[in-house]
Structure 1
Amino acid sequence: MEAAVESPIPGIEASVPQTKKRRASENGVGVNEMKNGTTEKEKFIDESYFASYSDVELHRTMIEDTVRTNAYQQAIFQNMEEYIHGKVVVDVGCGTGILSMFCAQAGAKKIYAIDASKIAVHAKQLVEANGFSNIITVIQGKAEEVELPEKVDVIVSEWMGYMMLYETMLPSVLYVRDKWLKPGGKMFPERAMLFMALGEAQWITKYEEGTYDFWVSLNHVYNLDMSLLADHAVARYKDVVHVHMVSQEDIVSLPTPVCDLDLMRVTPEDIRCISHNFNLASMGSRRLNSMVLWFDVWFPGGLKLSTSPHNEDTHWQNTVLPLTTATVKQDTPVCGVINITQDLSNHRFLNVDLKYRVDSGEEIIRGFKMDDNCTDNDF
């Protein structure tokens, strides 16, 4: 077994150096390949990504999402006798260690809590404060680089990002699965599905009207014609992926599954490029202006965690792709193809390409980049 790299924090095992700030500029970052096959740029991107998870407030946002946190707790406790009690567990991307401590409460024999960010320091302190130091070992390091002393019976991980795949954490979980999970072991969650449906997002219409009126109104205020920017501002808004909670009344069609992942079998190559041909039908006479995406995951035993607009809000919200506004009526067909790929310049980001046709109209092609800006929009 490879020796672990000495941690800069006493008492915490480590295998990667300290991290940098996530949103720092990439200027000057080279692409020279390093010994482990990654490039300097990829290393910088990962370090910046892990640095963002050092923020305690980010973990508060996730934990206070009771839909999320309660689902994991219930899944662990409902399956404790069969899958958790007396078992060896690894928690990939453990954050504050709350899922690891749920497993300890459920009677796990040993838990390895892995996180590459500095939040591992707090996780170790919390483990000690709750009396689980003899059960939970916190390891600060990348999941792909950590060496465990034994195979595990269970993998627990909350790896889902916006639109399920944003941030591209799932490949790290799959790496741990392939290297450390015993035959017949379990994954929490064990299945994940991404859905899409037609939408009439009311806030898009309000924004379009408000921003258009603003630029036009400047003529009355300052006697200057600024209306040329009105169309530009509206068009810019439609070129951005929005993370926003959509009400169930704004869903205009039944959903279609974009992908259905069996987490015991799916490979990183399977999720590098996801393509789905869709054929949706509108419900009622509406103004179609968006495509809405969300995901569900299932745990052993059947418990489901859903981020659907038809269920209680979560911190993941929904992912909204603005479309050219079109009027539809009952059963108007909207068909096309959606492609979701990892961005070549930053593997944590996603590209979403959409080709679609409303009824017998012309084919429309839209391209979206899902990056940090998708969470910075002011609705």
Structure 2
Amino acid sequence: MIKDRVRTEAYRAAIFQHSDFIKDKVVLDVGCGTGILSIFCAFAGARKVYAVDASEIAIQAREVVKTNGLSETVVVLVGRIEEVQIEEEVDVIISEWMGYMLLYESMLSSVIFARDRWLKPGGIILPSHATLYLAPITNVERYAESIDFWRDVYGIDMSAMLPLAKQCSFEEPCVESITAENVMSWPETLRPIRCYANTVDRLPSLSSCYRIFTGMAGPLHGFALWFDVKFSGATPSSSDTQSGTWLESSLSNGSHVNGMFQKVKHARIADEIILSTAPEEAPTHWQQTILYIYDPRDVKQDEQISGSITMSQSRENPRFLNIHLEYKCGGRCYVKETVMR
């Protein structure tokens, strides 16, 4: 993740952009890993940084902090955020909590716990907002490589392998990179998350309906999910409440030009830093998450694709994410159920 320059430089830029909130203040880094974000905060003038991680990487983080002469400023705590002891409130919470598809193995619940336990009134959270998107895709090369290959293997018809090939290649979500050329429509916003306002009870599941109009004709091979996060210094008493209400009311009014909406939103607040994992942006280690369908469906330009998607924690293992996708195109309804493990 440190080698992911898009991710790391976005966090560094956000920290220094918000140095007025950080200088001489107390910062809590939730899931600090090697401690790089904590060190950025120290460089930005923080009086104290509590760097917390449940894994043994925190031991190495402590050595990194010591090597850089910051042991008096950065305090590394080994343990779950829900179990460590911090004897003072904090002015800033920073965390790189996002997982694949935003929610898979994310640490958002830990950030919310830290917010409710230690964040001072008027304190800030970085990043402050996150949004998950969905769009239909076409990917002829990927399908040909994984599936069509079996139709002629060195002159042998091995099409009997097709059902197994589809299952092995596309049964579970695929984390891979696509390009903007693969995306068949403007993306649909599935859920805006406001780190100041969300509660833990809302996190285990997500359910959203969508209605998309294709911008191109071609074979529909599946659906891509990606996210962006915003680093805003706004507190919940100011623009967070207003922008969050504006965003959710826009969605409830049935606007389906969400790609245009996203561009307008970004243009409105030009000084806000956005870390995006969209296909048209520079690639990140999150890439995109693809829900491939077994059999492509030919769609026309301006054709409507509608349905719903539900994501929920697996009962057998909370780390797993159950996904139920329904989609309707060409007058027929289809269902894909999968588990992200």
TM-score by length of 1: 0.77
Tell whether 2:260 aligns with 1:321: no
Which consecutive unaligned segments of at least 5 residues does structure 2 have?
234-271
Tell whether 2:77 aligns with 1:107: no
Aligned residues: 302
Tell whether 2:143 aligns with 1:205: yes
- Aligned-pair CA distance for 1:210: 4.6
Choose which of 285, 304, 315 in structure 1 pairs with 2:217.
285
Q: Share of identical aligned residues, percent?
A: 41
Q: Which residue of 2 aligns with 1:67?
A: 6
Q: Which residue of 1 aligns with 2:16?
A: 77
**How far, CA to CA, are the matches of 2:75 and 2:141 in structure 1?**
46
**How far, CA to CA, are the matches of 2:288 and 2:149 in structure 1?**
23
Q: Is the 8 A contact 2:147 2:165 kept in 1?
A: no
Tell whether 2:234 aligns with 1:263: no
What letter is aligned with 1:85? Answer: K
Q: Which residue of 2 aligns with 1:8?
A: none
Tell whether 2:327 aligns with 1:356: yes
Q: Which residue of 2 aligns with 1:342?
A: 313
- Aligned-pair CA distance for 1:228: 2.4
What letter is aligned with 1:217? Answer: V
Runs of 4+ in structure 1 deviating by more than 6 angstroms, as ranges, are none
Question: Using CA pairs below 8 Å that are at least 6 residues apart, which structure has the higher relative contact order?
Answer: 2
Q: Is the 8 A contact 2:150 2:158 kept in 1?
A: no
Report which of the two has the higher share of strand: 2
**How far, CA to CA, are the matches of 2:63 and 2:206 in structure 1?**
40
Q: Is the 8 A contact 1:100 1:136 kept in 2?
A: yes
Choose which of 128, 134, 138 in structure 2 pairs with 1:196.
134
**How far, CA to CA, are the matches of 1:261 and 1:144 in structure 2?**
21
Q: Which residue of 2 aligns with 1:304?
A: 274
TM-score by length of 2: 0.85
- Aligned-pair CA distance for 1:209: 4.0
**How far, CA to CA, are the matches of 2:335 and 2:13 in structure 1?**
43
- Aligned-pair CA distance for 1:363: 1.2
Choose which of 135, 148, 153 in structure 2 pairs with 1:217.
153
Q: Is the 8 A contact 2:147 2:162 kept in 1?
A: no
Secondary structure of 2:16's match? Answer: helix
Tell whether 2:121 aligns with 1:183: yes
Q: Which residue of 2 aligns with 1:51?
A: none
Tell whether 2:303 aligns with 1:332: yes
- Aligned-pair CA distance for 1:202: 3.3
Secondary structure of 1:363's match? Answer: strand
Secondary structure of 1:178's match? Answer: helix
- Aligned-pair CA distance for 1:167: 0.6
What letter is aligned with 1:265? Answer: A
**How far, CA to CA, are the matches of 2:336 and 2:162 in structure 1?**
21
**What do residues 50-71 of structure 1 show as CA deviations (whole Å, max 9, x unaligned)?**
xxxxxxxxxxxx0111000000
- Structure number, greater radius of gyration: 1
**What do residues 250-281 of structure 1 show as CA deviations (whole Å, max 9, x unaligned)?**
00010011100010010121121111100011
**How far, CA to CA, are the matches of 2:133 and 2:97 in structure 1?**
17
Q: Which residue of 1 aligns with 2:60?
A: 122
**How far, CA to CA, are the matches of 1:235 and 1:129 in structure 2?**
49
**How far, CA to CA, are the matches of 1:238 and 1:211 in structure 2?**
15
- Aligned-pair CA distance for 1:247: 0.7
Q: Which residue of 1 aligns with 2:171?
A: 239
Secondary structure of 2:100's match? Answer: coil
**How far, CA to CA, are the matches of 2:26 and 2:103 in structure 1?**
27
